Amino acid sequence: MGLRRSIGFISGSGLTIGAMVGSGIFMSPGEVLGAAELGLMYPESGGAYVYINEALGDLFAFLYAWSSILIVRPASAAIGAVSFADYMCEVFYEPGCAPSLLKKLIGMSLILFLGMVNAKSLKLSSLVSRDQQL
């Protein structure tokens, strides 16, 4: 029993390119080359977890995975949602004048909506993600 293929070529390519471009903005060319070399040396799924496991061992890889799941990714989602809410509020309010509670409610609603879409259907989630990147 294997994983069912639910994402097509276009959606998969969009997700991959979006992740590469999105993270590549914050990296210098040297860092990009270093990441590419690591990917070629360890062609397994798992990304940074695999690299940390190879370099520092199981304990640090485990700590990285848990800190990523509990702190880094939720914080990243919250920052993105609050940024989205900030821009959305500027449509109706002058910059910096929107109520703080409204921004928080819009941000939480966005995270809940995207979570429900992802839980409902991987195919629908990939369509939302692909349309967002256009």
Into how many domains does the chain fold? 1
For the whole prediction, is pTM greater than 0.75? no
- As a whole number, mean pLDDT of residues 1-30 equals 65
Listed in sequence order, the residues at least 6 apart from 128 whose beta carbon sits closer than 8 Å to its beta carbon are: 114, 117
Task: Tell me if 2 is assigned to some domain.
Answer: no
Task: Tell me if 65 is assigned to some domain.
Answer: yes
Task: Tell me if 3 is assigned to some domain.
Answer: no
Q: What is the pLDDT of residues 49-99, one digit of tens each?
A: 888 898 899 999 999 999 999 998 899 888 888 888 998 888 888 887 888
Task: Tell me if 24 is assigned to some domain.
Answer: yes
Task: Tell me if 38 is assigned to some domain.
Answer: yes
Pairwise CA distance, residues 34 & 27, whole Å: 10
Closest CA to 18 of 98, 61, 67, 80: 80
Task: Tell me if 128 is assigned to some domain.
Answer: yes
10-19, 81-90, 123-132: which has the highest mean pLDDT? 81-90
Q: Which domain holds residue 90?
A: 10-133
Task: Tell me if 129 is assigned to some domain.
Answer: yes
Say if residue 111's pLDDT is above 70: yes
